[in-house]
Amino acid sequence: MESKIQSHVEIDLLKIQDNAKSIKEYCNRKLIAVVKADAYGHGAVQVANVLHNIADMFAVATVEEGIELRQAGIRNPILILFSTLTDTVDEIISYELTPTIDNWNSASRLNDAVIGRNSLLKFVPIEKANIHLDINTGMNRSGIPHSEAKEFINRLQSLNRLQLEGITTHLATAEEKDQSFVNIQLQRFASSINDVKKSDTGTPFFHAANSAATLSIPDSHFDAVRPGLALYGIYPPNSYYVDLQPVLCWKTHINWINMIESGEGISYGLTHKAKQQTRIAGIQVGYGDGYPRSLSNVGEVLIGGIRRPILGNICMDLTVVGLETSDKVEIGDEVILIGKQGDEEITVDEIAEKANTIPYEILTRIGNRVKKIYT
């Protein structure tokens, strides 16, 4: 059922492809396309389907996210970014997912579990499971301490059913202008891997760069880059080298139009009081759809190519916006929450800034109720 009244997002998959190609061309490295959290709200399966010829590998956050891609027929290597607890080792192996390891216990459990297991993709026995090793070089949210990395890498050779395919770290301050801590992390990473021998096929390969580092810190590129946000056409701060196009548009339509008298209030708490007779319009979108409540009385939408203020508190399902008395707008007219209309544009960055958060949170919060339409 198509509802004109409920909001939907339109996602341009060709633009995701273009963004991925531009990034890959610029870096000239392997591309690990990050599609965690349902591809930042864009739909992991759909995004992976259009990137499988461009990305060398996909990255997700959880084993479940990896299985979703496998069951949709994605055959590229899939990296699970965070060290996973051992209760999922069987699925990791049989779906040929590539876990990120940061402790000995997980590594040895995984090694033991490889024996006698068949691939669900190729129906042949699995000989070795690929792993990546996560080194903590200073972000302190995951990874083995960099001071222990060399010894750990040597010790891994005794687990002969594991193949160390990659070694990774994550940068804490890649978005910042001041790169002094990035340099410390990169030095720690480099010294952890400096005597790792690569095979003829180039493994293990090294990777550290999220979007910000991919677009602004060439020294962080190593063998592969690992962008998420940039694929979806959003620039991290302080990065300009690649042309990216926004991918997602969030739309709805005017549900009703009304006139209120001077002194009347709008929505819960009546936090907006009309200073004069005011024409207002209702749209059916709210924080229950992931539209940030903090945009109440602050945010804007586009109607007829003009910015319109959000009046009063955003509700779970409904939001009220202001019109001009003379506007030629009607019930059913298109309303843009994120995207372009005429010469005006509301970007994810603008919404994030006004809602006091980051674009990542705006995108990943867009709710299940909001239908995705692919163009």
Is the Cβ–Cβ distance between 171 and 208 less than 8 Å? yes
List the catalytic residue out of 122, 198, 241, 268: 268
Distances (CA, A) of 22 to 25, 42, 242, 317, 347: 5, 19, 7, 38, 21
Q: How far is the CB of 357 from ligand PLP (least distance, A)?
A: 14
- In the residue annotation, 36 being an active-site residue is answered as yes
- In the residue annotation, 340 being an active-site residue is answered as no
**Is 141 strand, coil or helix?**
coil
Judged by beta carbon, residue 290 or residue 322, the one nearer ligand PLP is: 290
Judged by beta carbon, residue 29 or residue 226, the one nearer ligand PLP is: 226
Is the Cβ–Cβ distance between 294 and 271 less than 8 Å? no
342/143 Cα distance (integer angstroms): 47
What are the strands, taking DSSP E only, across 62-116? 78-80, 98-101
Judged by beta carbon, residue 29 or residue 253, the one nearer ligand PLP is: 29
Closest CA to 364 of 228, 168, 226, 216: 228
Judged by beta carbon, residue 81 or residue 352, the one nearer ligand PLP is: 81
Residue owning tokens 């129906």: 123
Is the Cβ–Cβ distance between 21 and 33 less than 8 Å? no
Judged by beta carbon, residue 98 or residue 278, the one nearer ligand PLP is: 98
List the catalytic residue out of 30, 36, 251, 360: 36
- For 255, residues 6+ apart whose C-beta sits below 8 A from its C-beta are 5, 281, 282, 283, 284, 318, 331
Q: What share of the chain is helix, strand, coil (3-state, %, to 5)?
A: 30, 25, 40
Q: How far is the CB of 55 from ligand PLP (least distance, A)?
A: 13
Q: How far is the CB of 51 from ligand PLP (least distance, A)?
A: 14
Terminal Cα-to-Cα distance of the chain (whole angstroms): 18
**Is 321 strand, coil or helix?**
strand
Q: How far is the CB of 355 from ligand PLP (least distance, A)?
A: 18
Is the Cβ–Cβ distance between 187 and 169 less than 8 Å? no
Residue in the shown chain whose Cβ atom is closest to ligand PLP = 228
Q: How far is the CB of 232 from ligand PLP (least distance, A)?
A: 8
Residues that bind ligand PLP (CB under 6 A): 34, 36, 81, 170, 210-211, 226-229
Q: How far is the CB of 126 from ligand PLP (least distance, A)?
A: 25
Q: What phi and psi, each to the nearest 5 degrees, are found at residue 115?
A: -55, 130
Judged by beta carbon, residue 167 or residue 266, the one nearer ligand PLP is: 167
Q: How far is the CB of 228 from ligand PLP (least distance, A)?
A: 3
343/305 Cα distance (integer angstroms): 6
298/312 Cα distance (integer angstroms): 9
Is the Cβ–Cβ distance between 260 and 274 less than 8 Å? yes
Judged by beta carbon, residue 113 or residue 135, the one nearer ligand PLP is: 135
Catalytic positions are 36, 268
